[in-house]
Amino acid sequence: MTDRNPDTGAFFTRDRTWHPPAYTPDYKTSVLRSPQRALLALDGTLSEITGPVFGHAILGELDNDLIHNFARSGEAAIGERLIVHGRVLDENGRGVPGALIEVWQANAGGRYRHKKEGYLAALDPNFGGCGRCITDENGNYRFRTVKPGPYPWPNGPNDWRPAHIHFSVFGHGFAQRLITQMYFEGDPLIWRCPIVRTIPDQRAVERLIAPLDMANTIPMDARAYKFDIVLRGRRSTLFENRLDGN
Amino acid sequence: MTQDLTYLKETASQTAGPYVHIGLTPNASGITGVYSADLGAAMVNDRTKGTRITIRGCVIDGGGASLRDALVEIWQADAAGLHNSPSEPRGQADPDFTGWGRCACDGDGGEFIFHTIKPGRVPFKDGRLMAPHITFWIVARGINLGLHTRMYFPEEEQANAEDPLLLRLEHRDRVTTLIAQADGDDSYRFDIHLQGKRETVFLDI
């Protein structure tokens, strides 16, 4: 036997006290968008245990390089050059290979390239703000970008989002589907942010704060931040679905 | 003292925010030239087996407004009831059907639309067949953790009546929140209500 669980087991129960609850009135938009009835519990069926898996063939050469993937030829996005890297693991501590990671973010001035975005900070003509990569056989990923700026947003009269990168992650089962945000070590806006504060447990927030990783910087080029992501783990199927006598 | 259980904790969710379309459907949001096509835009091709269907709907908040910044993903079995996934233990699914779709709700009225096929039946854990269904996952600004639900088919009255998930609903009037409405030939409407009297049944899976 290998130490890999077969990818056909049901997932560990999601700890909903660790995630933000749906109704978080200090984050005002959640008030009318939060289900109020109890969720119906459903231990994973094949419809949730399975999920789409994406091959490296979908990736273009610059998909993991936000500094260049929207820039005019020979030009580059403006901002602090960063490597963001880490590992996608499951709750069993095993690397998740072949996990699709999609990221999006504001530019170095805190401005998103979006028609509904009204912040007065300037667009960078060489920065689109999206990128993607797929983890290697050990669950490692890496992309290059500029550090996003913090920006004000209409919630309270003077709320500012800390600098952050949005992450969307696919594991191997649709029940693992996750969207989260990565924050940067030392940002004083993190603990003031109503969206960060939707998470009730301080330890869960700390897991979203990427440390500066000088060991992975590229000297005279880019600093590095390390951000590990944990997806739900699978139960062993060894004694499941085998009724005695069958 | 005992030995330690060394499990890790799942990374906490954060809202997808108002600009999720930049990351997940950049072409649809006007950021072109980075990816050749948005992932999940095409689920079928000319060779896909099964009955072509169209699903339209809106995600509606507690004030009755349709969300213009939501993103919906669906996942389903092929016409034979098999998933196009390495985690599918029962056999090879139709290679011409991805089973997975993604749509941004930023058009007029906040509508999503999927062109797919009607799925076959999939067994529940105990071997009983579930009624044909499509798994939905909804994220948006103001939604702190992605919402899972299912769409069932209105013409499958018998299968729906014996579906293990639908049977589990204590309040029977809520079953209808999971059943699409017929909307023309092989066309369905499935509105998702986040709150209120018609709040959709969401799943803790």
User: Is the confidence at residue B17, as pLDDT, over 50?
Assistant: yes
User: Is the confidence at residue B195, as pLDDT, over 80?
Assistant: yes
CATH numbers and ranges of domains, chain B: 20-193 (2.60.130.10)
Averaged pLDDT for residues B145-165:
98
Confidence (pLDDT) at A241? 55
Each residue's pLDDT tens digit, A152-178: 999 999 999 999 999 999 999 999 999
Write the ipTM: 0.97
Single out the catalytic residue among A111, A164, A232, A234: A164
A35 touches chain B (CB under 8 A): yes
What is the full DSSP assignment across B22-63?
HHHSTTTTT--SSSSS-TTS--B-TT--S-EEEEEEEEE-TT
A68 is catalytic: no
A175 touches chain B (CB under 8 A): yes
Q: Tell me how far the alpha carbon of residue A147 is from its chain's centroid.
A: 15
Instruction: Provide, as residue numbers in chain A, all residues whose Cβ is less than 8 Å from the Cβ of B30.
Output: 113, 115
Confidence (pLDDT) at A238? 61
Confidence (pLDDT) at B106? 74
Single out the catalytic residue among A19, A68, A94, A166: A166
Beta carbons of A166 and B20 less than 8 Å apart: yes
Q: Nearest by CB to B22, which of A20, A130, A198?
A: A130
Nearest residue of A to residue B60, measured between CA atoms? A33
Strand order in the sheet with A164-170: A130-134, A100-104, A164-170, A178-184, A209-210
Confidence (pLDDT) at A117? 87
Please state which of the ranges A1-5, B109-113, B161-165 shows the lowest mean pLDDT.
A1-5
Averaged pLDDT for residues A106-117:
94
Nearest residue of B to residue A13, measured between CA atoms? B205
Contact A163, A152 (CB under 8 A): no
User: Is the confidence at residue A71, as pLDDT, over 80?
Assistant: yes
CA–CA separation, A118 and B30 (whole Å): 16
Q: Nearest by CB to A18, which of B10, B21, B34?
A: B10
Mean pLDDT over the full length of chain A: 94
Instruction: Provide, as residue numbers in chain B, all residues whose Cβ is less than 8 Å from the Cβ of A115.
Output: 29-30
**Number of A–B residue contacts, CB under 8 Å:** 273
A117 touches chain B (CB under 8 A): yes
Whether pTM exceeds 0.80: yes
Each residue's pLDDT tens digit, A7-33: 788 999 999 999 999 999 999 999 999
Confidence (pLDDT) at A6? 53
Q: Which two tokens stand for residue A100?
A: 């699709």
CATH numbers and ranges of domains, chain A: 43-231 (2.60.130.10)
